[in-house]
Structure 1
Amino acid sequence: MAPTSKKLNKRQLESKDSGKIVKRAKKISIDSGDEDSDDVLQGLSSESEADGDSSSSDSDDLDNESDDLDAESDQDQDDGDLSDEEATEVTDGTEAKENNGVSQHAEQRKTLKERKLQRKSGERVQQIKSLWERLRVKNPPIPKPVRDKLCSEIWELSSDCIEDLVLKHDASRIVQTLVKYSTKERREQITAALKDKIYVLATSSYGKYLLVKLLHYGSRQSRQIIIDQLHGNLRKLMRHREGAYVVEDLFVLYASQEQRNQMIREFWGSEYAVFREAHKDLSIEEVCAGSVEKRNIIARNLIGTITASVEKGSAGFQILHAAMREYVKIANEKEISEFIELLEENFAELVHTPEGAEVAATLIAKANAKERKGLVKTLKEHAIKLIKNEHGAVVFITLLMTVDDTILVPKAFSPAIKEELPALVVDKFGRRPFLFLLLGLDGKYFGPNLKNELLRYVKMSEATSKKPFEQRRLELLKRFAPMILSGVNQHYKEILSENIGSQFVADLLVNDDVYEQLSEADQKLFAELVDTVAVYFKGDISEEDHPINKPFSTRLLKSLIQNGRYNVKARKLEPLQKVQGLGIPFAERFYEDIIDSSNLLDWINKPNSSFTVVALYEALHGTEEGKQFDQDLKKVLKKITIDESNKGSQLLLKLMKQ
């Protein structure tokens, strides 16, 4: 059967050669633009098909031909040995073909150049390009006088044909460079010259880049001209592949708040686009309050634009989020459910903008239990990015505040949180959801505006959430607390080396709610973390990298020694009632294990650590547990250095004299 295989390979090679000829013919036809190329290709294709039919018919006779294959193989071998003269002829023929191909390409380039020159403003465009090549050089930088001169020359040549340049790939780049390096007056001239082409530019693959340049470098007046020219077409542009990006950049980067409001009102419908001045001071709630019919029209226009844009892949656009925010303000219960279904797969794309986060939090608050389950499933894939994002953290807190299923949420998010816990608790925004679990909406971490916003979502959720607010928080804390304690205990060095990490540990340990929600086994984990924190401060405090030399470390130790939280309004310390192991027990162990008679004076004489000794004195002085501490303190009293910069040692001396 080996000869049969050889016969087939030979035929396959012949078929491949015919395929290469067709491909070569196609390339030549494309390069040359020859009108007869279609006939050539059809002829080659028909020959190839004929060869294929022949091959197919020959395959039926393979069994009959098998006896002759060996002989044919020998003949093929003989045919492969060419004489020197034949080889020379083949080589010369190949070189001739190659030279012919080069000459064809040269002829094609020449023809293309002639065609470009024959176009409208063709010769002028070539002159402009020559100047542009010099203008766009960055290394070495062009002196400003030379650059200004080049800009002036380009503008003189292009001012009356600029509309012909801006929609072409290479010529559009020329105008972009001109905009970048021109004066304010010339940029305004360019904007005025292109005023009637703004919409065309916004929908052009090349023109959109010029429009973005005009927005970036243009004046406020120029931007207003662009907005006015696009006015009435924004809904259409949001459904356009190129135009959507221009509208997004205009809204996010360049429009003023008044211009943004104008753009958003256009999504309400044609009436609000045409008579924009009549509605500029009205909110969507005010417009809809007066007429059910108007509400229905506006809602239909908004959801139509939103749906089309989401289907086009624009769910992450901030201007679309702003339109969504308008919609959820007036949507009824049925429309909210349909909206959640529309956005469920793209829900995570909302949370990175303030408008989108407001939409996401509103939908979570108004969703029913089944819908919330689907949203949790979508968001858990993006847990870390969600929690560490300024706006995403608010969405996650809303989830914690409103979802009644306090088993589902920890189960969905705990694996990702556990892995990234050290980074989350030292992140400005990432720690907020955990601070909510530990302390509720404490004014120390949640300002009035943020607190009111979150409470507004709680109010929205009253129709679908059944559990009391505080009960839900404590149930979640019960499930999250062991994981948090374990993670902090494991990564304590990373966390305690950061100011907000040290603060987080204090809020975690000096907390009756946390301790109360722990099982007996988890209370042992709590005690283990307390010991870990104490041991962290063991060592020679004269070393620069000792943790006590960081100001925030003293605050942590003071909290653990005092066993209480300071009430700012009442201006007094409120001692804890349920936590075990802090206060006097912690102070006693800390003095025995970390500070003793051998290094007590060192702790007093250093500015940062001296306040820790003051806290120990306030907790242990005069108690049975503090007898040894009082004795050691009296021994070093006369050796304490009087230093004006050491406020802690001065306070300690003052307390001891009382």
Structure 2
Amino acid sequence: MAVKQGKRGGARKPHGGGKKKGQPSQQERRKVVKQQHKQQLMTVLKSKVKDELEKLSTLDKPVQSPTNSESSFGSAPLRKAFPKKRVSFANKVQSKEFHISDLINTSTSEASPGRSILTPKRGAKLSLPKKELVVEKHVEETVKVVEKKPELVEEKPSKLAGKSQPTTFGNRVVKKKEAVKVTKKVKEQLLLMPRKERKAFLVELRKKQKPNFTLAAECKTLWEQARMGKTPQAKKDELIKDLVGKVKGHAKELIYAHDMSRVFQFLLKLEREGITSMLFDELNAEIIRMSKSMYARHFVRRMLKYGTKLQKQIIIEAFKGHAVSMLANIYSADILESVYNEYADAQQRFNIITEFYGQEFVVFRIDTIKTLDEILADEPGKRQMIMKHLEEILLEKCTNKVTLRHSLVHKLLFDLLEHGDKEQKSNLLDSIKDKIPEIVHTPYGARVAMRCVWLADAKDRKLIVKNFKDLSEKAAMEKNGQRVLWAIFDQVDDTVLINKFITSEIANNVGKLLEDRWGCLCLEYMVHPRDGRSMDYNVIKELELGDKNTVSKKDKKDRYSEIFLHLIEPLLTYFAANMRSALMGDMSALTSHVLHKALELQIGRDFFERKVDSQLRINCYEAIADVAAVDFIPMDPNGYHLIESRAGGWVTGQLLRQDSKLPEEERLAVQIVKRVPEEFLANWVGCNKGCFALLRMWENGGVAVQTHIKKIVDVDRLDKYSMVGARLLKEAVTGIKSAPRPKASDADNAELSGSETESAGENELRDEDDQSEEEMDFDE
């Protein structure tokens, strides 16, 4: 019989065999081994303890117990050592003394272990029984605390004790209440008081330090009840009446506190004429001071929003002579900016601006509104004085990040850049060159940023470009911010840096830009710079001012070409994947222009030759053909066909007109013939736009396209239509010129669309050079 091997290597007995009588089992043997091992350990331990006791008995120096050490105050005598000594396995035993003053400090022993047995865990605090505190007052007015049996050692107080420190409340950081400052004598008294008495004492102390403490507390209680939604209206009116009665006569003292400023805002928001007038009459002498306060400024802002026209005028008149000092304060600068943009009329805006030209303009007001150009033309001798005053204010007070964002500051910066000397311009550029993205959101701020780009040398231009990192997308979708990007594209020679920090970010967010009006315009500029068909003439003239700078050395066409090549691939790839939304979506009026200019061949007004990869063009043309490859139903209520839609039909027609200049495999007409079924394509003759699309395919698609169109077009069907497109298509297919028809009335030509109405004559339709006349302005 086979014998199986056990886990411990011993051979198991065959089945059925039992142990012999009188032999111990395996479990019993294990118990015996454990007992023997335990006895050996106890023997070794006893021998070591005995050796240590013999060594301790031979020492001459007695061991002093730590609990019998002398107190640091010198008031407690030494106690005798305990007869029973503590046992230590250290080679050297030392006693330790604990000195108790305000805290219990321990000194580390040189022996091993080097930590006292009484040293508590970090963070534990002293627990002292109240009955065992003994207070002794000396001449120096110090308090000594003698503790008999301290349980734990008090933690050392923080250096920031007495200051308000933030604490965490969940995910929020809550700032603690500010500690009350008291003298040392009062602090000693507070330490001896019970908790309730101490709290009451501090309340009374705050009342003495703040005369309106009780009044403010009562007002806040009423406000809290009045602003609750569940409070009945009658009760709310009564609470508001009581609140107004308490505030009346004390507004000047209460308005500057954080909590009470909220109460005043609540009263103004009620928009009750009596309450608003009462508060305004009491506080109108404090307008400038409140504007410079962190919390009271909200009252001024609320009065500008909810006050009467007369009250708003009083506030604006109060700013007279204080504009410079208000702009230097971050809180009042915000109020001044709001008044300048939203509430002041033209004369008041002019008065605010002229205060920054010098004190003379504050004392002697100019009644006629003038620009700085007109002021300097009338009095040229004041140029140096005005520019010096502007430079001092702007460079010393207005170049911080908060104030620099205001449009009022941007207007002053523009005046200094336009009329200052070379040194003043250089100083201003040095102070704001790293903050250009902060000012591009206003018209004057964008013009200042553009001039900084033109004035900066190559090193500073690199800094300006780098500062647009992660901000290019946002700037491209702003009406004013995109103009700064255009100035960079026009004049900065380092196109590698531009593509790295600006073009790459725009290319990665093409879809988001195509959903925005200004984003589409920025993309148009990048593929076709300074195109007068879609850009404002004044903006083009503004950009041309930068062409006079002496820093730019690279040819303009090289800069534009390198930026275009970096953008065109992701742009056309996006169009190929989203062609339906680009041609027939909500933003198709704008995206169709971007698509057309990206695929458009070079024309006379171009600064560079736009070279599009053949495969990218074919992919886009295939996507257009796929959108058109559906059955044509005229005036379909479920959605117009591509040819019948306004934007899609226009783009298709414009791209078909340039097919003759492209290789046959890259032509849009070829892709339409391949991908649109014959029965669907034949139905295009059912509308005027479809006839013109087939006509352009016939004229520019090549022989194969003409053969296909001749095959599918039904000439008899064309005879039934009176549309101009049908007549011209029939003439092209048959080669027979039709007799001239009488001039159609407006009602007969009602179906003609925008681009086709302009080209009702045959000669105009065939004039390929005059493409701009058939463009539609979809931007408006």
With the length of structure 1 as denominator, give the TM-score of the two structures.
0.74
Is 1:7 the counterpart of 2:7? The answer is: no
Matches of 2:214 and 2:699, distance apart in 1: 96
Check the 8 A contact 2:561/2:608 in 1, yes or no.
no
Check the 8 A contact 1:588/1:620 in 2, yes or no.
no
**500-509 or 464-473: which moved more?**
464-473
Aligned position for 1:553: 648
How much does 1:586 deviate?
2.5
Matches of 1:183 and 1:225, distance apart in 2: 19
How much does 1:115 deviate?
4.8
Structure 2 residue identity aligned to 1:288: L
Tell me the SS of whatever aligns to 1:311.
coil
Matches of 2:238 and 2:407, distance apart in 1: 40
Structure 1 residue identity aligned to 2:593: Q
- Equivalent residue for 1:217, pick from 291, 302, 306: 306
RMSD between aligned alpha carbons? Answer: 4.3
Matches of 1:6 and 1:447, distance apart in 2: 83
Matches of 2:437 and 2:482, distance apart in 1: 12
Structure 1 residue identity aligned to 2:689: F
Q: How does 1:494-533 map to 2 (within 5 A)?
A: 495-496=582-583, 497=585, 498-499=587-588, 500-512=590-602, 517=609, 522-533=613-624
Is 1:182 the counterpart of 2:290? The answer is: no
Structure 1 residue identity aligned to 2:359: S
Bigger radius of gyration: 2
Check the 8 A contact 1:482/1:518 in 2, yes or no.
no
Aligned position for 1:591: 673
List per-residue Cα deviations over 1:284-334 (Å, max 9, x = no partner): 223334666632322222222222222364222222222212221212233
How much does 1:392 deviate?
0.5
Q: How does 1:223-238 map to 2 (within 5 A)?
A: 223-238=312-327
List per-residue Cα deviations over 1:328-350 (Å, max 9, x = no partner): 12122332222221112211101
Matches of 2:320 and 2:608, distance apart in 1: 60
Tell me the SS of whatever aligns to 2:446.
helix
Structure 2 residue identity aligned to 1:111: E
Aligned position for 1:309: 398
Aligned position for 2:572: 485
Aligned length: 572
Matches of 1:501 and 1:247, distance apart in 2: 40
List per-residue Cα deviations over 1:54-104 (Å, max 9, x = no partner): xxxxxxxxxxxxxxxxxxxxxxxxxxxxxxxxxxxxxxxxxxx9x943x24
Structure 2 residue identity aligned to 1:538: A
After superposition, the Cα gap between the structure-2 partners of 1:650 and 1:112, relative to the gap in structure 1 and judged at 3 Å, is farther
- Equivalent residue for 1:119, pick from 211, 233, 239: 211
How much does 1:481 deviate?
3.8
- Equivalent residue for 2:695, pick from 614, 617, 623: 617
After superposition, the Cα gap between the structure-2 partners of 1:291 and 1:579, relative to the gap in structure 1 and judged at 3 Å, is farther
After superposition, the Cα gap between the structure-2 partners of 1:312 and 1:465, relative to the gap in structure 1 and judged at 3 Å, is closer
Matches of 1:654 and 1:25, distance apart in 2: 93
Matches of 1:21 and 1:440, distance apart in 2: 70
Matches of 1:40 and 1:30, distance apart in 2: 19
Check the 8 A contact 1:31/1:108 in 2, yes or no.
no
How much does 1:546 deviate?
8.8
Tell me the SS of whatever aligns to 2:298.
helix
More helix by share: 1
Aligned position for 2:63: none
How much does 1:251 deviate?
2.6
Matches of 1:524 and 1:560, distance apart in 2: 16
Aligned-pair identity in percent equals 19
With the length of structure 2 as denominator, give the TM-score of the two structures.
0.63
List per-residue Cα deviations over 1:458-503 (Å, max 9, x = no partner): 36x3454456766754564455445543454455465444402233
How much does 1:184 deviate?
4.6
After superposition, the Cα gap between the structure-2 partners of 1:314 and 1:215, relative to the gap in structure 1 and judged at 3 Å, is same
Tell me the SS of whatever aligns to 1:511.
coil
Structure 1 residue identity aligned to 2:543: L
After superposition, the Cα gap between the structure-2 partners of 1:462 and 1:581, relative to the gap in structure 1 and judged at 3 Å, is farther
Is 1:562 the counterpart of 2:653? The answer is: no
After superposition, the Cα gap between the structure-2 partners of 1:12 and 1:557, relative to the gap in structure 1 and judged at 3 Å, is same
Structure 2 residue identity aligned to 1:612: G
Aligned position for 2:382: 294
After superposition, the Cα gap between the structure-2 partners of 1:411 and 1:425, relative to the gap in structure 1 and judged at 3 Å, is same
How much does 1:445 deviate?
1.5
- Equivalent residue for 1:600, pick from 670, 678, 681: 681
Q: Which has the higher contact order (CA 8 A, sep 6+)?
A: 1
Check the 8 A contact 1:414/1:480 in 2, yes or no.
yes
- Equivalent residue for 1:35, pick from 179, 183, 186: 183
Q: How does 1:323-338 map to 2 (within 5 A)?
A: 323-338=412-427
Check the 8 A contact 2:529/2:607 in 1, yes or no.
no
Q: How does 1:147-546 map to 2 (within 5 A)?
A: 154-184=243-273, 186-277=275-366, 280-289=368-377, 294-307=382-395, 308-311=397-400, 313-455=402-544, 457-458=545-546, 461-465=548-552, 473=560, 476-477=563-564, 480-482=567-569, 484-489=571-576, 492=579, 495-496=582-583, 497=585, 498-499=587-588, 500-512=590-602, 517=609, 522-539=613-630
After superposition, the Cα gap between the structure-2 partners of 1:599 and 1:313, relative to the gap in structure 1 and judged at 3 Å, is closer
How much does 1:257 deviate?
3.6
Matches of 2:123 and 2:699, distance apart in 1: 101
- Equivalent residue for 2:726, pick from 630, 652, 657: 652
Check the 8 A contact 1:299/1:330 in 2, yes or no.
yes
Structure 2, unaligned runs of 5 or more: 1-88, 91-110, 126-152, 165-176, 732-737, 739-780
Check the 8 A contact 1:537/1:547 in 2, yes or no.
yes
Tell me the SS of whatever aligns to 1:626.
helix
Check the 8 A contact 1:527/1:581 in 2, yes or no.
no
Matches of 1:14 and 1:409, distance apart in 2: 56
